[in-house]
Structure 1
């Protein structure tokens, strides 16, 4: 893990209209870091991810990637700046094959098809299968693979475990760790499986009603479940 900041949030507020859902948030995240964003339903996690991806306008504040400010409410420009979202609905082209889904997203200088398939070997025999015919776990692998070929500096993974059995989540989360380690990118992981997320994360923040009530090293938070539970209940740490 590098000490050079890749992602910086400065006083970021996110929400809908003029109503903030996430209140001023400051973060500095070095390259190669997995940052787990935790919290109960309605905490503002997905709103934060959509704002970082440029799908929602910022209410206030700045988002910087590699020290450069990124645009607000301009998803294509935000994507080109290195913020790539793997959405909770996976957003696949269901009638296109696995190969076509990956190829249509590929960017010059990004990982090759073979390199991506080394991370997700279960997709190799499925390259010519339509995305809509894949299992839920295979679809999540494809969504992650499609994100990777876009050469992210910050990979935003929103609710990777949505609709998946815990055993599949246990197989996929170590890949998140590898992505950060091997590419030097920051991975921001929104995840409901708290224990599993903390096992692969370096750092974590807990959001409750849009406020950060707890932050720290993932291993320390995992070792203090009582503090973590209190944070989920809204106790400021």
Structure 2
């Protein structure tokens, strides 16, 4: 059963149309790779799903509810957790304060997040601004998990990080898939790492869904044409 359904969505930034015809769905426990070159509509699609941007056509449903009229905070309360591009941690709050800022009751509490990312326990009382980029990314993921989401959206969660930190984050994502059954949408440029966790892929080009299918069915023709690799 689909947890999230995006049907033929169009969206604008002012007079400029960014999405023309985007469709995707995510089942409970499924990991979807949302792919495409830069500027093709991936982050805009995430904003529509999270209700940070309205859509002018189409439909967005989550947990059997049309969420098109909801503000972003109510969509989050339904169970949509976002790890935004650029991390956006609260720089002047401690690690612990960042994690509890949006916490909701559930399996994911401070102890569970620190079990996934032990460095956060070590840095509990440090200000977020003092953390390395990789540690801030772990904090951003942990903060989203503390909302106890049904769907976790990772927008470029490993962008610009050192290889060893990238691997640590990918290992955490694989653990989330294997042990929690949480639905995940992952945006990333690494086909190899995505291929280790993603069940299906959806590719966007110029604000349209141009390909979707099993990740193992994504071949050289599609990657050359739509991803430029």
The secondary structure found in structure 2 opposite 1:105 is coil
Query: What is the TM-score of this pair, normalised by structure 2?
Result: 0.92
The secondary structure found in structure 2 opposite 1:14 is strand
Cα pair 2:177 2:197 within 8 Å, conserved: no
- Who is 2:207 aligned against? 210
Residues 103-141 of structure 1 show CA distances to partners (whole Å, capped at 9, x for unaligned) of 112112251211111111221211111111111111000
Describe the shift of the 1:116–1:70 C-alpha distance in structure 2 as closer, same or farther (beyond 3 A). same
Residues 150-205 of structure 1 show CA distances to partners (whole Å, capped at 9, x for unaligned) of 01111111111222123322221232232234333221111122322222111111
Q: CA RMSD in A?
A: 1.7
Cα pair 1:110 1:148 within 8 Å, conserved: no
From 110, 114, 119, the counterpart of 1:113: 110
Within-5 A mapping of 1:76-155:
76-155=73-152
Q: Name the CA distance, whole Å, in 2 between partners of 1:146 and 1:81.
A: 16
From 165, 183, 201, the counterpart of 1:186: 183
The secondary structure found in structure 2 opposite 1:23 is strand
May I ask how many residue pairs the two structures share in their alignment? 228
Query: What is the TM-score of this pair, normalised by structure 1?
Result: 0.89
- Who is 1:6 aligned against? 3
- Who is 1:54 aligned against? 51
Consecutive unaligned residues in structure 2, runs of 5 or more: none
Give 1:82 shift: 1.5
Q: Does 1:231 align with 2:226?
A: yes
- Which stretch of structure 1 is more off in the superposition, 62-71 or 177-186? 177-186
Q: Name the CA distance, whole Å, in 1 between partners of 2:178 and 2:19.
A: 29
